[in-house]
Amino acid sequence: MELVVFILTALIALFGAGAMLISRNAVHSALFLLLNFGAIAVLYLLLQAPFLFVTQLIIYAGAIIVLFLFVVMLLGAERDDQETDRLAWQRPVALVMAGLLLAEVVYVFTSGVNIGAINAPAVADFASPEAVATALFTRYLFPFEVTSIILLAAVIGVVVLSRRATHDHAAVATQATDLTQLSERR
Amino acid sequence: MTMVVPTAYYVLLAATLFTMGALGVMIRRNALILFMSVELMLNSANLALVAFAQARQDVGGQVLVFFVMVVAAAEVAVGLALLVAIFQSRQTTDVDDISTLRG
């Protein structure tokens, strides 16, 4: 039963990823990526990770995809590159390299790694939200605090980057002789 | 609580998704799609981490996935802000057109 769910979800995830790559419309790509993230969230549930299931839905499906969609709409960049690839030879090479990468991973994994050796005896509810929180706030407390600095840096960086436009306005304002020109620019 | 789906299946799925993400970075020229492909790769790495965490019955792998998610969120926010700034000055999201640093 669990295997059937896994296979169906894996197929949905692969379909989402493939359709994201092929789709010509950036909005469609973002929505196919959402499908893929949802499928991966279901896999987290199968892997006894309810906390990550919820986090995946909130952060990836809720925040990141919405951010992508906002930017696509903001830029009006939904129609795509019209096949103006300046390095035309890059595409077949990329396909070969990707095939090699996959073959390599599968080979290493099937020949070198003995997965059965690392299997630990099952612990009931080893990753309940409570257990994750305990690990996060005791053993991994320092990295957890560092994430707050990372997020703060990201927030400040985004604010600085998007303030660039208003800086231009300020430059215009100091140079403009009449204020009507300024309001037009804005 | 017997494990019905072998960990190997999850890791092979993660490897396939990672390869698709790498392929997307290589064949697509739209910067937005490149970011989505990077997200796909991060997600496949997360999937492998959770699979191994379940195999070892160790919560550490899931904590690491949490940190990866935080970094991914920060990366997307900064990356998309950069993209908007580039688009405002150059009117394009095609990474081939953003070649100012070319020698």
Looking at chain B, the whole-number percentage of residues with pLDDT higher than 70 is 96
- Tell me whether residues B20 and A14 touch, CB distance under 8 A: yes
Closest CA to B21 of B33, B35, B38, B4: B38
Give the tens place of pLDDT for each residue, A107-150: 887 776 666 666 777 777 777 888 889 988 999 999 999 999 99
Window 135-164 of A, Cβ < 8 Å to B: 135-136, 139-140, 143, 147, 150-151, 153-155, 157-158, 161-162, 164
Give the tens place of pLDDT for each residue, B46-93: 999 999 888 888 888 899 999 999 999 999 999 999 888 888 888 777
B39, A40 in Cβ contact below 8 A? no
Q: ipTM of the predicted structure? A: 0.90
Would the CA dihedral through B83, A75, A55, B53 be positive or negative?
negative
Closest CA to B30 of A97, A20, A65: A20
Mutate to test the interface with A, among B35, B41, B69, B99 (most CBs of A within 10 A): B69
Q: Class of the B7-90 domain? A: mainly alpha
Structure tokens at B57: 């019955």
What is residue A90's predicted lDDT score, i.e. its pLDDT?
Answer: 80
A165, B81 in Cβ contact below 8 A? no
Structure tokens at B35: 């970011």
CB of A11 within 8 Å of a chain B CB? The answer is no
B18, B41 in Cβ contact below 8 A? yes
Residue-range domain boundaries for chain B: 7-90
Contacts of range B87-90, beta carbons closer than 8 Å, 24 or more positions apart: B87/A75, B87/A77, B88/A164, B88/A165
User: Taking the CA of residue A164 as centre, how many other CA atoms within 13 Å lie in the half-sphere pointing to its CB?
Assistant: 13
DSSP characters over B20-71 = HHHHHHHH--BHHHHHHHHHHHHHHHHHHHHHHHHHHT-THHHHHHHHHHHH
DSSP characters over A11-80 = HHHHHHHHHHHH-SSHHHHHHHHHHHHHHHHHHHHHTT-HHHHHHIIIIIIIIIHHHHHHHHHHHT--S-
Give the tens place of pLDDT for each residue, A61-101: 889 999 999 988 888 766 655 556 667 788 888 889 889 98
